[in-house]
Structure 1
Amino acid sequence: MKKYILLSVLLFLSFLSCKHSVKEQPKSNINVPKLAVNKVVQTIDYKSKNNILVCAHRSYHKNAPENSLQSIKNAIILGIDLVELDVRTTKDSVLVLMHDDSIGRVSTGKGKLNDFTFKELQNFSLKIEDSVTPYKIPKLSDALKTAKGKVIPNLDIKDLDFKALYALLCE
């Protein structure tokens, strides 16, 4: 399990370290992703030698909806090392956090996630079991901003547009 988490983190961070757009080529022979990956490997290796790294499944969804920005914030407050984020693409190619292919179990809406635009999804509220919350389905970009420098995101890639993911991670 630890190896899979590490692999996910490494792949994610290699994308995060992009210094060029999808269409541009790097202008030097410096392998920036490799340097970033080495730093991440060293950090995880150092932390894991004397500690157990904790990964929160679907963020930390005990007191907030799964895959919500609040669940990421709760994980940060608790000092959790990694948060698993499930990523899917909406009808209008926006990358969002959602575990299921349909939205009915975790929101006030019904139907397949990829049948909705991001704007349409904002009409629904996220739920914790049967309780409706004020939280909305978040964009992956907002989740990454929330997590940056505070907790390591572990992306669980579901049904998504990989070019959009690559472009977002390079931003």
Structure 2
Amino acid sequence: MKYIDHIADPSRPCAIAAHRGAWHQAPENSLAAIENAIAGGYDIVEVDIRQSADGVLFILHDDTLERMAGVDRIPEEMTIAEIASLRLRMADGGPDQPFTTETVPTLEQVLETVRGRIFVDLDIKHLELMSTVAAKVKEMGMEDQVDLKARADTPEALAWLARQSGIDGIPFMGQAFFRADSADQTAETVLSIKPFMCEAKFDRLETLADQHQRLREAGISLWVNSLDPVSCCGLTDSAALADPDAIWGRMMASGISVIQTDQPAALKAYIEARQR
């Protein structure tokens, strides 16, 4: 099934996006974490994309390699051979985590790993690489399995998107912040380009819920993060582990149909329990 068709399917339960892979038993953003996400039966895996000094797209979140590889260097200033020679620390890294045999994968390796197995949210850390990433996706014939994303809630953001070449034909997710005093205008801006999905932030969950129906009628599904560092209004993974009804349950009741989480196993168990 195509990514767009899967997200648009009204009969599916809430989709689970595994943030940087399922990384509790593998280094984040590693091929092993992606394999864990596939084995876990999650819908989407999110990965972070950068480009090496010699022009190779690779997967890493941070601006340096310190947390995940114990090397205080900027990866964009290194060749892909130098980057790939480093071993990654377990889980979310840091000095207390042991080193593993996993290494930083290239985008090409990731796309080959996921082919036909799981959908992929491509988080491009430097957006000027969007056309380069799109070209690699098309070269590998993976247009139906990934998304590209960027801000899509202001005229300036739409003007920037219009200048990007080669991104047509790849599912696009617009990012938007819904505030009570401007939510209607924000929705209109998003609706003007009709992305298949909207990664939403909000001042109150009710503000977003009020826009759900008009976005859904236009074929736009809502993606929300419950990640502790970037969640809105205290709707965090940590809080969800203590009271999933109050966090994930409220999200689903408000029309959220994709949740990105660092606790994909717990979210999956909660969704399955609701279906019984």
Could you tell me the TM-score, scaled by structure 1's length? 0.72
Asked whether the equivalents of residues 93 and 164 of structure 1 are also in contact (C-alpha less than 8 Å), the reply is no
AA aligned opposite 2:87: S
Amino acid of the structure 1 residue aligned with 2:3: V
User: Structure 1: which 5+ residue stretches go unaligned?
Assistant: 1-35
Q: Which residue of the partner structure matches residue 152 of structure 2?
A: none
Distance 1:80 1:94, change over 3 A: same
- The correspondence for 2:29, drawn from 55, 62, 67, is 67
SS in 2 for 1:62: coil
Q: How many residues align?
A: 133
1:137 aligns with 2:100: no
**Shift of the alpha carbon at 1:162?**
3.2
* Pairing 1:77-156 to 2, within 5 Å after superposition: 77-128=39-90, 129=93, 130-156=97-123
In the alignment, which residue of structure 2 is the partner of 1:41?
4
The percent identity for this pair of structures is 32
Q: Which has the higher contact order (CA 8 A, sep 6+)?
A: 1
Instruction: Name the CA distance, whole Å, in 1 between partners of 2:136 and 2:7.
Output: 24
Report which of the two structures shows the higher radius of gyration computed on alpha carbons.
Answer: 2
1:169 corresponds in structure 2 to 137
- Using structure 2 for the length normalisation, give the TM-score: 0.46
Aligned-residue offset at 1:115:
1.1
* Aligned residue identity for 1:41: I
Q: CA deviation at 1:95?
A: 0.4
Aligned-pair CA distance for 1:169 = 1.1
Query: Considering only aligned residues, what root-mean-square deviation do their CA atoms show, in Å?
Result: 1.7
Following superposition, the deviation at residue 149 of structure 1 comes to 0.9
The residue aligned with 2:149 is none
Equivalent residue letter for 1:70: A
Q: CA deviation at 1:142?
A: 0.6
2:79 alignment partner AA: T
Higher share of residues assigned strand:
2
TM-fit CA distance, 1:148: 1.3
Q: Please give the secondary structure, in 2, of the residue aligned with 1:84.
A: strand
Measure how far apart 1:110 and its partner are.
2.1
Give 5+ residue unaligned stretches, structure 2.
Answer: 140-276
Query: What is the CA–CA distance in structure 2 between the aligned matches of 1:97 and 1:52, rounded to whole Å?
Result: 26
Q: Please give the secondary structure, in 2, of the residue aligned with 1:142.
A: helix
Q: Is the 8 A contact 1:60 1:75 kept in 2?
A: yes
Letter in 1 for 2:119: I
